[in-house]
Amino acid sequence: DVLISQIAAGEVVDRPASVVKELLENALDAGATEITIRIDGGGIQRICIQDNGKGIPKDELELAVTRHATSKIQSLNELESVLSLGFRGEALASIASVSQFSLSSYPAGQASAYCISNQSGQWQIEPSPASPGTTVDVQSLYFSTPARRKFLKTEQTEFFNCLDVVKRMALANPSVTWLVYRDGKLQSRFQESSWSARVFSILEPMANGASKPIEVQAADMQLHGAVGLPDAARGKGDMQFFYVNGRFVKDKLIAHAVRSAYEDVLHGDKYPSFVLFLNLPPTEVDVNVHPAKTEVRFRNARAVHQWVRQSIQACLAPSRA
Ligand code: ADP
Ligand code: MG
């Protein structure tokens, strides 16, 4: 069973950033409004995520860290939609199988907090001094799977991949406060804010202080966010955030549409920075090409491409009043 979990872990949590993503999704699912992320040694040494969400009752702790135990599926019908979203109830079990893992939780209404940890193959539950919410502590990632560990990049690279995941989620969840510590030092703080304030807090430092809001509405599509302006638009690929119906995507079609718009107006700016949210009817898009990947499939790809390109073009072009 440990072996099965370790194999599954290769799928779900192939690097520190994927561990961070799974744990943050759980914290958001639990309704957290403040999330603290501590990353030591690029996440290989330690990833510790604390949330103030609804917590896990003592008698559900073991279920939560066991494979295929998801509290998010109530019926077979739901199973289908939930499966496709990647809620497979195996993230915690997978993470636990490739790390030194402990989880403390203090749900409202319980007298005190409890911690579940793996002690030489056995789950143990003990009282703990945790504060309300849940804290997941993942140490020595991949210590038992050296082959996996070999695939990791430098601590620096792994850390910034983790930070990218936090930024992606922070952008989509502005009403949550996010704190990121790197090796004990505060690295980033995204205070609870409005959507536009959050977008600018992440985009402005990247765009060197020059970006422009965009908000366009078509019959059944909506595009909003901000784009880095011409002079400041020279960034790197990691300054590009595109969301389809609230989900972060990294999609070739979209990337091409945005890049083309910049090229049309700026003639050859290959790495613009932008934060864009595209919303369209769920029937028009399939986000479930692969749950772990970030691609999408549009029903009418050409129309989406053209509209996104034109909308950004119009935003970037000097106004002709
Ligand atoms: P899934 O999210 O697919 O259900 P996970 O393995 O990620 O599977 O988590 C298992 C279960 O543990 C969740 O369904 C949830 O009930 C509980 N859980 C995990 N993390 C948290 C958290 N931060 N706060 C509250 N409950 C949590
Ligand atoms: Mg989960």
**Residue 196 falls inside a structural domain:** no
**Residue 124 falls inside a structural domain:** yes
Q: Are strands 113-119 and 133-139 parallel, antiparallel or unpaired?
A: unpaired
- What's the complex ipTM? 0.99
Q: Which helix (H) or strand (E) holds 97?
A: helix 91-97
Per-residue pLDDT of the chain (321 residues; tens, 9 = 90+): 666 666 656 566 889 999 999 999 999 999 999 999 999 999 999 999 999 999 999 999 999 998 765 555 555 555 554 444 445 678 899 899 899 999 999 999 999 999 999 888 899 999 999 889 999 999 999 888 888 888 899 999 999 999 999 999 999 999 999 999 999 999 999 999 888 888 888 777 665 657 888 999 998 999 999 988 765 545 555 578 999 988 888 888 998 999 899 888 877 656 678 899 999 998 898 866 555 667 788 999 999 999 999 999 999 887 654
pTM recorded for the entire structure? 0.86
Rounded (10°) angle between helices 155-172 and 16-29: 20
Instruction: Tell me if 257 CB under 6 Å of ligand 1.
Output: no
Q: Do 235 and 129 share a structural domain?
A: no
Q: Do 296 and 269 share a structural domain?
A: yes
Give the domain extent around 180. 2-190
- Paired tokens of 77: 């019908």
- Contact call for residues 24 and 166 (beta carbons, < 8 A): yes
Distance 254 CA to ligand 1 centre (A): 32
Q: Do 30 and 153 share a structural domain?
A: yes
Number of structural domains in the chain: 2
**Residue 143 falls inside a structural domain:** yes
Select from 139, 165, 190 the last residue of a domain: 190
Cα atoms in the Cβ-side hemisphere of radius 13 Å centred on 277: 17
CATH number at residue 229: 3.30.230.10
Distance 42 CA to ligand 2 centre (A): 22
**Residue 321 falls inside a structural domain:** no
- Main-chain dihedrals φ then ψ at residue 266, nearest 5 degrees: -110, -5
Distance 26 CA to ligand 2 centre (A): 5
Q: Do 261 and 129 share a structural domain?
A: no
